[in-house]
């Protein structure tokens, strides 16, 4: 029930009408018995500053931020949490209010921690791992950063456009590891071809797909070449979550490799945002079930 006590959070992006985040967060608020409501907020390019100021003025507790505003929102904020600063992208804004009414806008990025939490939940410890990341966009950047911080021995980044992978590696090598990070993990950038994918995967423990290959509606595509078995020792982590069972995950399972879907990361990054806003532990199981039900119902591209 929405009434005078209702606390608002939401999602700013363009477009946002297909997002399933409202379903996931509102299910969590209900399970926690919190009078909170999560609403989609379509914000066209160029309007992000006005939108964020408006959110603060309207008493929102925070927002998630999605494409195309993850970088554009940064100049509007008062400060960035360490992950957002390291990744140069914000997916969660918290609105902090002092007793005197002073508002502070804090930018967070929960993708890296969400990536690692989901990997650990799947039973894979990232410490000492040799990883191959396919893609060099925002999701890949979060994954490489998270693996390096978690003490991966080596991370090889394969991308269609080599210069983008090289820039990612150079950027992240320049980011000092916070306390707890194990220095010395090697970062390597290579071109993404069927040959480099197979060759790199043979020498790795973990293969992460951070490209849109396999994503609905292009469900027949996969970054793994046809007719080549996936090494059975490998954990294959596909960040694509729609569909939950991608062609890459099917190829992995058929070869006896461990297959981990992208829904876990999606839910964990949302759970971390909810914890930042409310200060309460998120009901991850409830959020997962709500998202799965909504995906089955809508078959859309939720974020
Ligand atoms: P992005 O920033 O647009 O980056 C896309 C990356 O994929 C780029 O490196 C691009 O290479 C590569 N790519 C695109 N089309 C390709 C193709 N046909 N063949 C080979 N490489 C291709 O996107 P993103 O935000 O990182 O998202 C990437 C994927 O991760 C999407 O499927 C998204 O849904 C998923 N994701 C999942 C989560 C989660 O929580 N599970 C979170 C974020 C993203 P170039 O540099 O050559 O263009």
Residues 250-288: tens digit of each pLDDT: 999 999 999 999 999 999 999 999 999 999 999 999 999
Residue 42: is its pLDDT beyond 60? yes
Q: Report CA(138)–ligand 1 centroid distance (Å).
A: 7
On whether the CB atoms of residues 86 and 110 are closer than 8 A, the answer is: no
| Active centre residues (catalytic) | 70
Confidence band, pLDDT 50/70/90 cuts, at residue 177: confident
Rounded distance, CA 181 to CA 191, Å? 27
Range picked from 98-102, 162-166, 241-245, 294-298 for highest mean pLDDT? 162-166
Confidence band, pLDDT 50/70/90 cuts, at residue 203: very high
Atom of ligand 1 nearest to the CA of 114: 40
Give the CA distances from residue 294 to residues 21, 287, 288, in Å, rounded to whole numbers and listed in that order. Answer: 10, 11, 10
In this prediction, what percent of the chain has a pLDDT beyond 70?
96
Instruction: Say which residues have a Cβ less than 8 Å from residue 195's Cβ, sequence separation at least 6.
Output: none
| Ligand 1 lined by 262 (C-beta under 6 Å) | yes
Closest residue by Cα to atom 27, ligand 1, is 139
Q: Report CA(285)–ligand 1 centroid distance (Å).
A: 26
Instruction: Say which residues have a Cβ less than 8 Å from residue 135's Cβ, sequence separation at least 6.
Output: 158, 159, 192, 209, 210, 211
Closest residue by Cα to atom 1, ligand 1, is 137
Of the listed ranges 19-28, 37-46, 98-107, 235-244, the least confidently predicted one is 98-107
* Top-confidence residue, 100 or 6: 6
Rounded distance, CA 222 to CA 254, Å? 14
Rounded distance, CA 286 to CA 99, Å? 33
Confidence band, pLDDT 50/70/90 cuts, at residue 39: very high
Q: Report CA(8)–ligand 1 centroid distance (Å).
A: 30
| Ligand 1 lined by 239 (C-beta under 6 Å) | yes
Average pLDDT over the chain, rounded to an integer? 95
Residue 61: is its pLDDT beyond 80? yes
**Which DSSP state fits 230?**
P
| Ligand 1 lined by 60 (C-beta under 6 Å) | no
């Amino acid at each position: 029930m929405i009434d005078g006590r209702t606390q608002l959070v939401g999602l700013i992006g363009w477009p946002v009408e297909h997002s399933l985040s409202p379903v996931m967060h509102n299910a969590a608020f209900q399970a926690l018995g919190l009078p909170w409501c999560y609403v989609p907020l379509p914000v066209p390019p160029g309007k992000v500053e006005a939108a964020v100021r408006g959110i603060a003025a309207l008493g929102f507790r925070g927002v998630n931020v999605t494409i195309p505003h993850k970088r554009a929102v940064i100049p509007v904020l008062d400060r960035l949490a360490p992950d957002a600063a390291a990744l140069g992208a914000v997916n969660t804004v918290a609105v902090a209010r002092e007793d005197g009414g002073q508002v502070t806008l804090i930018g967070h990025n929960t993708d890296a921690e969400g990536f690692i939490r989901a990997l650990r939940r799947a039973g894979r410890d990232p410490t000492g791992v040799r990883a191959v990341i396919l893609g060099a966009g925002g999701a890949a950047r979060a994954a490489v950063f998270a693996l390096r911080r978690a003490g991966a021995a080596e991370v090889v980044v394969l991308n269609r456009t080599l210069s983008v992978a090289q820039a990612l590696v150079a950027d992240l090598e320049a980011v000092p590891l916070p306390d707890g990070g194990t220095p010395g993990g090697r970062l390597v950038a290579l071109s993404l071809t069927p040959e480099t994918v197979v060759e790199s995967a043979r020498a790795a423990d973990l293969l992460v797909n951070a490209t849109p290959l396999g994503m609905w509606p292009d469900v027949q595509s996969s970054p793994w070449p046809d007719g080549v078995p996936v090494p059975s020792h490998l954990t294959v982590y596909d960040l694509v979550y729609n569909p939950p069972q991608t062609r890459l995950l099917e190829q992995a399972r058929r070869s006896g490799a461990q297959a981990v879907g992208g829904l876990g990361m999606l839910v964990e990054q949302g759970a971390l945002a909810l914890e930042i806003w409310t200060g309460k532990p998120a009901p991850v199981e409830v959020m997962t079930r709500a998202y799965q039900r909504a995906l089955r119902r809508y078959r859309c591209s939720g974020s």
